[in-house]
Amino acid sequence: EADIYQTPRYLVIGTGKKITLECSQTMGHDKMYWYQQDPGMELHLIHYSYGVNSTEKGDLSSESTVSRIRTEHFPLTLESARPSHTSQYLCASSEAKGGGVETQYFGPGTRLLVL
């Protein structure tokens, strides 16, 4: 069973606030990812990381930033939340295999509502 955690699970916040979504995994995986997903819609890659001190932007930067200071921790920060940021945010991790990524393990997600 995957051990990847996200907090908070639900967040309601006002426009302009700074928020940080937490993601931690205890599997020792090198690669971690953040996705944004609206209900019933596709997954959009926001950021990913190959390991400590490595971060890359995905196809949808969504005006957010990430950091990877420790292997197990990959927080996502929105400097100024807007209603358009309302969505579900999913964190995932995977092992760095020589033949590419076979399996991603997803956290339970954070549902964000920006008023």
113 near other proteins, rule: CB under 8 A: no
14/40 with CB nearer other proteins: 40
109 near other proteins, rule: CB under 8 A: yes
Which 54-93 residues touch other proteins, going by CB under 8 A?
56, 58, 90, 92
Neighbours of 31 (CB within 10 A): 18
Q: How far is the CB of 94 from other proteins (least distance, A)?
A: 8
Q: How far is the CB of 31 from other proteins (least distance, A)?
A: 7
Q: Which residue type does 26 have? A: T
Residues that bind other proteins (CB under 8 A): 31, 33, 39-43, 45, 48, 50, 56, 58, 90, 92, 96, 99-109
